[in-house]
Amino acid sequence: MSLSAPQPVMLRLGTRQSPLAMAQALEARTRLCAAHGWADEAVELVPVLASGDKVQDRPLAEIGGKALWTKELDQWLIEGRIDAAVHSMKDVETLRPADFAIAAVLPRADRRDVLVGASSIVAIPHGARVGTSAPRRAAQLLSLRPDCSIVGLRGNVATRLLKLERGEADVTFLAAAGLERLGESGVGTPLESDQWLPAAAQGAIGIECLAGNARALELLAEINDPASMAEVRADRALLAGLGGSCHSPVAVHSLCADGRIAMKAALFSSDGAEQVTGEAGFVCGDDATPHSLSRDLLARATPAIARHFRAPS
């Protein structure tokens, strides 16, 4: 009886080490192996400890922004230690170096936020401490419930739930997609997008490689979901037009159907007291309309809102 030789590694996927990041990388591997007829061992998962995972006691905006999730993986791509990197697209900085290309976006999962600790925004106890380090979530909550106070709360899903249990906050928010990927979709109450807009590209897993790596681009193209890619592209085009950062309270919901995108967006002051909203409909792949919407939003923004954005000159 002869044993078949193990399949050689066809692609090395870099990923952060957090449980959610590993779950996302496993999904990418499963889809790649199914698309190409490979065994699981043909795709090697290469974990890296990201800077953003090392510091958990301060808001992301204070310690370097979204680049803290990508810089180690970027370096490993450049050094050739990995062929591609798996990212949660809402954590990828808007303007990326030309050396990198988003080669695939997997079918987008639930893009909603989940409220944990209360059954609805209205049901949050008066004066409650709301745990979040996301400017969007804080501002959007305060716009609806100015009686509440915001307390900083960072960490992975398990860490934030533990902090909530310990009483560091009364309620908090988590991403529905993250809970789903960790097998905890029964936690909390999803907030519908007609009342509560998500972050740009929330729920989308992207895979990035070097722009000059034709082989990786070709292999990854097989698992790209065009509708999800179009939504992510639209969201990121809006952000690029706004010139926002990790300090910017911006929410956007893009939905692709029949080759067109319906987009809703909102900008807030940090205290939630002021907001400006807008909508647009356009063909998938049209970056000009999201840019136009960004200009319209900024033109109508009050100084307290506009200070968080810097439109490209």
Q: Give Cα separations from 115 to 54, 126, 161 (angstroms).
A: 26, 16, 11
**Residue 256 — left, alpha, or beta (φ > 0 → left; ψ -120 to 50 → alpha)?**
beta
Q: Which helix (H) or strand (E) holds 264?
A: strand 260-268
Confirm whether 113 is a catalytic residue: no
Strand 84-88 and strand 11-16: the pairing is parallel
Q: Are 158 and 183 a contacting pair, CB within 8 Å?
A: no
Q: Could you count the other beta carbons within 10 Å of the beta carbon of residue 231?
A: 27
- Is residue 243 helix, strand or coil? coil
Token digits for 118?
């209360």
Per the residue annotation, which of 91, 110, 225, 235 is the catalytic one? Answer: 91
Q: Which residues are catalytic?
A: 91
